Amino acid sequence: MLLRVLKLPLNLKRFYFLNSVIFFSKKDHKDIGLAMIFSTNSDKGERLAFEGVFKLNNTLTPRVRHCKKLNNEYMESDI
């Protein structure tokens, strides 16, 4: 299966121990996921899959649908 996503690595100085990657849909440029990987151990971290939007006090944020460890072990969902 060919995924049609754009991958944007992100380095936040405040969270120096994490390497983050945001995934965007090539079709509509919406954010569809986030990977957070520990810089000290690249096997440790998690992925969040987004679907839709959550609105709280006029603030729009991606709705987290699924959370997995980097080894694809399923952690949780908001379904």
21-74 per-position pLDDT tens digit: 888 888 888 888 888 888 888 888 999 898 888 888 888 888 888 899 988 899
* pLDDT for residue 14: 65
* pLDDT for residue 1: 43
- Residue 67 tokens, joined: 């959370």
Exposure string (b/e) for 17-31, b if CB count within 10 Å is 16 or more?
A: ebbeebbbeeeeeee
* pLDDT for residue 41: 86
Residue 13 has pLDDT above 70, yes or no: no
* pLDDT for residue 3: 59
Residue 16 has pLDDT above 70, yes or no: no
